Structure 1
Amino acid sequence: MRVFGYLMWFFKQEKKAYIVGIGLLLIVAMLQLIPPWLIGVVVDSIDMGSLNGQDLAKWMGILALSALAIYVLQYLWRVMIFGSAVKLSRQMRERLYAHFTQMSPQFYQKRRVGDLMAHATNDLSAIQQAAGAGVLTLVDSLATGLFVIATIAIMIDAKLTFIALIPMPLMALLTNYYGTLLHKRFGVAQAAFSDLNDKTQESISGIKVIKTFGQEKEDVESFRELSSDVVAKNVAVARIDSLFDPTISFIVGSSFFLSIVFGGRMVIAEELSIGQLISFTTYLGLLVWPMLAFGWLFNIVERGRASYERVSQLLNHPVDIKEKTGAVDAQPSGDLEVDIIDFKFPNDEASALQDVSFILKRGDTLGIVGRTGAGKTTILKLLMREFDGYDGQILFDQRSINEYKLKALRGSIGYVPQDHFLFSASIRENVAFTDPSVSQSVVELSTKSAHVQEDILGFRNGYDTVVGERGVSLSGGQKQRISIARALLMDPEVLLLDDSLSAVDAKTEEAILSSLKETREGKTTIITSHRLSAVQHADLIIVLDEGKLVEKGTHEELMEKQDWYYRMYVRQQLEVLVERGGTRHD
């Protein structure tokens, strides 16, 4: 029953609804005692030959009124209790989703999307069941059981009641044992479902790659194995679950057997009337539901407990990036000063950045170049505070970025990542993601600056074209340019382009860079790139090698040094020349 302790915060929050619902449930439990009593009275009246039409009509009227009251009250308590359980599910889902949005990239690197989805669906449904059907079965089984036992002990015969309840302790022991096994097996089954959920999500997202490499058969077989594992683990749960009803039925059957044997002897000895024995066995029939419900209760609460513990592990995961008390709410605008002495990614021993420092004046363009893995993207992630915990400082408008509220800091930054994520929506909705209320002319201005408007107008539905999940219907270059348009629509103080021109040709790249220079006058731009032509017009260029700053200056200054930048630039120019059909001599 530990799950009810976990949920006590919610029961207190919705105490009015639960108090009313449980109160109505108790009234229903008491009203259900009327029919067995009436049956005994009528049988005894028949046995004594004293029943007449007027009395029969009176008893039937009482029976009809109690049935009507039970009908109305059952509706009301269901609204109260089950309605509150739905609120719990919504509240926890919102808490979980809000928590997901606060998590750093490190959190998502360790967890699979399918597993997180399983927590937000299957686990929350099990918790909702515990707060709804679990409360119902707990209160109803205890109330009905205690009311019935008290009634038959007080109004019929205490000795026969004791005899009928002899098998009950055995049921308590067995159901407790089954509940312990159920908790363990259900936790394993939920984990298996998470694996299957993750596999499904991954396969659907990567269906193009699967088809390209002809791995459909192997992927289906992999899915079948995971599906079989889920079935096997859920069958293991079902084997324990299926023990409850037969065990309880056997215990209740034993109680009936003892009641009829000893009750019959008491009727013969004239210690009981025939009507009382019939009432007793009818009341005993009312105990079947509480006993079955008690077994069902173990099923519900153990599932709810396992799921609540899984969800709590996520909710209790600390937020890595925290705002300082009294953080500034205004969006920063000004010079950027970066001085990173040392930074390591969490759980990594090697430094990702060392001795990287530069000053970027407001309105200037910074180019960051270097080999793959040199640390270019890492600098951008630190600017956006996706990671903290570095030795050094980053100042924005002469203030540490840690002193700004996250929303204010990131609201001044437009980011175009290497992995261009587009939502399964129209092109217009993707471009206007940060401000859906903007006019069509503003959207078109952004797409013009990103040199993608011509492509959009070439689609049958133009800006209303739905791009599919992750922009599956677009080319790599189109996705890149739509992502750039989305960032430009913000008109951010700082625009970060993380190798965001790699999928466009040199002519389009030059056109986009020219547009940025015109439209972003007075605004800061940072470009990381492997292609040096994308940064050669930057006001400042830094060269990274294994996380260290090895060169810094303008294009002309770096060319004069004839170091890494010079060699790479010459090599890339030769490659372009060869592609155009020229020779080294040219």
Structure 2
Amino acid sequence: MRLFAQLSWYFRREWRRYLGAVALLVVIAILQLIPPKVVGYVVDGVTQQRYTATTIWMWIGLMVAIAIVVYLLRYVWRVLLFGASYQLAVELREDFYRQLSRQHPEFYLRHRTGDLMARATNDVDRVVFAAGEGVLTLVDSLVMGCAVLIVMSTQISWQLTLLALLPMPIMALAIKRYGDMLHNRFKLAQAAFSSLNDRTQESLTSIRMIKAFGLEDRQSALFAADAADTGAKNMRVARIDARFDPTIYIAIGMANLLAIGGGSWMVMQGTLTLGQLTSFVMYLGLMIWPMLALAWMFNIVERGSAAYSRIRAMLMEAPVVNDGTESVPDGRGVLKVAIDQFHYPQTEKATLTKVHFTLQPGQMLGICGPTGSGKSTILSLIQRHFDVEKGEIDFHGIALPKLKLDAWRSRLAVVSQTPFLFSDTVGNNIALGRPGATQEEIEHVARLASVHEDILRLPQGYDTEVGERGVMLSGGQKQRISIARALLLNAEILILDDALSAVDGRTEHQILHNLRQWGEGRTVIISAHRLSALTEASEIIVMQHGHLCQRGQHEQLVTQPGWYRDMYRYQQLEAALDEEPSEVTDA
């Protein structure tokens, strides 16, 4: 029952709908009390030969009219009640999505995608079902049950009512125990479903790799194991679920046995008429639904409570990066990075130490270094995916934690090293950040990213559907479309995180040439493994083991002993060896 307390905020807000539904349920309960009473009158009237055929048909007509009215009222309260519960589903999913969009990478290090999807779909459905069907069964069972008990005890016989209800306390204790067991087992079943969702999501997103390595049978076996575990945990839930109905029917059977036995004795004693006993048995039949509904209510509410606890745990999780309060000053500003030390969450070794540099408006910064040296971490800190624990990054002389996140990130255009395209047209993917961009603007940035000609060769040009994650495009095309998307934002700071790794040298040179023209007055930060992408940078910093080991312009670094000179010579030699076969072929 704690779920109703947890959702009290919603019930208070939508009190008109719920009060209207409850009022109609009360009216329906009162109307349903009339037919058994009428049947009792008819039975006594027939046995005593007091009613004519016309009178009997009149009573039958009354019962038919009551049935029609009850049908219409049931339709209205279902619209009120379930309309309110479906609105709750919309709000919970909106809150859940808003919460996910506020979170930062640290959150997604701890929570897997499949689990989040399960909470947003399956768990929300369970909560909504409890908020609709659960409220219905609670109110309906209480109203109908209390009304029938009052009529049975006041209009027929309170002694026979007490006798018939003797099995009910035992049934109530059993149902309460089943409800507690169901809550715990259903929570485990939902967690298993999340794991199964994770496995499905990972398998589908990596299907190319699975096929390339011939891992279909292995992945199928892993999926089957997860499915078996989920099935076993749901079977444990079903075993508890299956105990509700037999317990109720046994209690109802015992109540009927006691009612008929005790009622027959009272009829023989003359303290009860046959018509009254008939009405009593019919009223007792009306008690079947409240009892079943009460058990059903415990079932669905405990499921909803377990699901809501999983949703609340996610909604209550505050972002590790807090929003600032200050707006970003107008105009282009100086970006100053002074990172003394930074650790990723739950790691002891520092990822970055003593990284200091300053970027003036219009400058281009190149960042290079071996894999795992901290290049992407610097870019993540500039974007405020994490906060610096020792040191600070400031813009316009204001520390980033003081700035409003949305305002700061609106100054950035980012192309990550793993470009993501939505299952939409090429044009809509480029215009993601500016949905209102004109076709001319889209084509202009596509030319800057050297992808315009490639797009025109697609079946429908800019209207071509790229498939899920851009499945029908090459890696280089996806990277260049992502660059075009960033350029369309016309942001002050452009960040390219190894965004040219999948394009050839000639295309890379053309894109960099276009960026230099586009980037006049704008700050550009390029992280790259291929050093030819950094030759025109205003300054290059070389990262090794999380700290800055070299800095300067390209002409300076190629003459200094160190990683940059060695890697540049190696890449030049590699490029020369790649050109030799083509020269031999041309000859």
**TM-score normalised to the size of structure 1?**
0.97
Structure 2 residue 28 is the aligned partner of structure 1 residue 28: yes
Structure 2 residue 273 is the aligned partner of structure 1 residue 273: yes
Other structure's SS at 1:392 match: strand
The offset of 1:47, in angstroms, is 1.1
What amino acid does structure 2 have at the position aligned with 1:469? E
Deviations 1:15-49 (A, max 9, x none): 11111111111111111100000000110111111
The offset of 1:578, in angstroms, is 2.0
Structure 2 residue 3 is the aligned partner of structure 1 residue 3: yes
Q: Contact 2:341/2:388 (CA < 8 Å) preserved in 1? A: no
The offset of 1:383, in angstroms, is 0.8
In 1: Cα distance, 2:236 partner to 2:178 partner: 12
What amino acid does structure 2 have at the position aligned with 1:80? L
Paired residue for 1:85? 85
In 2: Cα distance, 1:2 partner to 1:359 partner: 55
Other structure's SS at 1:561 match: coil
Deviations 1:229-260 (A, max 9, x none): 22221111111111111110010011000111
Deviations 1:184-241 (A, max 9, x none): 1111111111111111111111110111111112222222221122222111111111
Paired residue for 1:200? 200
What amino acid does structure 2 have at the position aligned with 1:442? E
Paired residue for 2:14? 14
Q: Contact 1:160/1:263 (CA < 8 Å) preserved in 2? A: yes
Paired residue for 1:458? 457
Q: Contact 1:476/1:503 (CA < 8 Å) preserved in 2? A: yes
The offset of 1:409, in angstroms, is 0.7
Paired residue for 1:143? 143
Other structure's SS at 1:341 match: strand
The offset of 1:54, in angstroms, is 4.1
What amino acid does structure 2 have at the position aligned with 1:283? Y
In 1: Cα distance, 2:564 partner to 2:398 partner: 32
The offset of 1:392, in angstroms, is 1.2
Q: Contact 1:442/1:489 (CA < 8 Å) preserved in 2? A: yes
Paired residue for 2:215? 215
Q: Contact 1:333/1:396 (CA < 8 Å) preserved in 2? A: no
Paired residue for 1:308? 308
Q: Contact 1:332/1:396 (CA < 8 Å) preserved in 2? A: no
Deviates more, 1:515-524 or 1:224-233: 224-233
In 1: Cα distance, 2:388 partner to 2:575 partner: 42
In 2: Cα distance, 1:357 partner to 1:416 partner: 23
Q: Contact 1:369/1:543 (CA < 8 Å) preserved in 2? A: yes
Please give the residue correspondences for 1:55-204 in structure 2 after superposition, counting only pairs within 5 Å: 55-204=55-204
Other structure's SS at 2:150 match: helix
Deviations 1:512-544 (A, max 9, x none): 000001122111100001111110110011111
Other structure's SS at 2:558 match: helix
In 2: Cα distance, 1:152 partner to 1:390 partner: 72
Structure 2 residue 519 is the aligned partner of structure 1 residue 520: yes
The offset of 1:558, in angstroms, is 1.9
In 1: Cα distance, 2:336 partner to 2:362 partner: 14
In 2: Cα distance, 1:28 partner to 1:265 partner: 33
Deviates more, 1:149-158 or 1:463-472: 463-472
Paired residue for 1:422? 421
Q: Contact 1:422/1:471 (CA < 8 Å) preserved in 2? A: yes
Deviates more, 1:442-451 or 1:390-399: 390-399
What amino acid does structure 2 have at the position aligned with 1:497? L
Distance 1:279 1:469, change over 3 A: same
Deviations 1:143-186 (A, max 9, x none): 11111011000000000000000000110011111111111111
Name the % identity: 46
Structure 2 residue 249 is the aligned partner of structure 1 residue 249: yes
Please give the residue correspondences for 1:421-440 in structure 2 after superposition, counting only pairs within 5 Å: 421-440=420-439
Paired residue for 1:501? 500
Other structure's SS at 2:332 match: coil
The offset of 1:295, in angstroms, is 1.1
Other structure's SS at 1:550 match: strand
Q: Contact 1:332/1:409 (CA < 8 Å) preserved in 2? A: no
**TM-score normalised to the size of structure 2?**
0.97
Over 3 Å off, 4+ runs: 329-332
In 2: Cα distance, 1:491 partner to 1:350 partner: 38
Q: Contact 2:141/2:293 (CA < 8 Å) preserved in 1? A: yes
The offset of 1:64, in angstroms, is 2.8
The offset of 1:402, in angstroms, is 2.1
Please give the residue correspondences for 1:200-349 in structure 2 after superposition, counting only pairs within 5 Å: 200-324=200-324, 326-328=325-327, 333-349=332-348
In 2: Cα distance, 1:562 partner to 1:262 partner: 105
Q: Contact 2:382/2:393 (CA < 8 Å) preserved in 1? A: yes
Task: Please report the RMSD computed on the Cα atoms of aligned residues, expressed in angstroms.
Answer: 1.3
In 2: Cα distance, 1:235 partner to 1:395 partner: 56
In 2: Cα distance, 1:15 partner to 1:464 partner: 48
Please give the residue correspondences for 1:398-417 in structure 2 after superposition, counting only pairs within 5 Å: 398-417=397-416
Q: Contact 1:366/1:538 (CA < 8 Å) preserved in 2? A: yes
Unaligned runs of 5+ in 1: none
The offset of 1:403, in angstroms, is 2.5
Other structure's SS at 1:525 match: strand
The offset of 1:564, in angstroms, is 2.4
The offset of 1:5, in angstroms, is 0.8
Deviations 1:465-488 (A, max 9, x none): 111111111111111111111101
Paired residue for 1:473? 472
The offset of 1:456, in angstroms, is 0.9
Q: Contact 1:450/1:512 (CA < 8 Å) preserved in 2? A: yes
The offset of 1:323, in angstroms, is 1.5
Q: Contact 2:329/2:396 (CA < 8 Å) preserved in 1? A: no
Number of residue-to-residue matches in the alignment: 581
In 2: Cα distance, 1:389 partner to 1:169 partner: 61
Other structure's SS at 2:191 match: helix
The offset of 1:559, in angstroms, is 2.6
The offset of 1:4, in angstroms, is 0.6
Paired residue for 1:581? 580
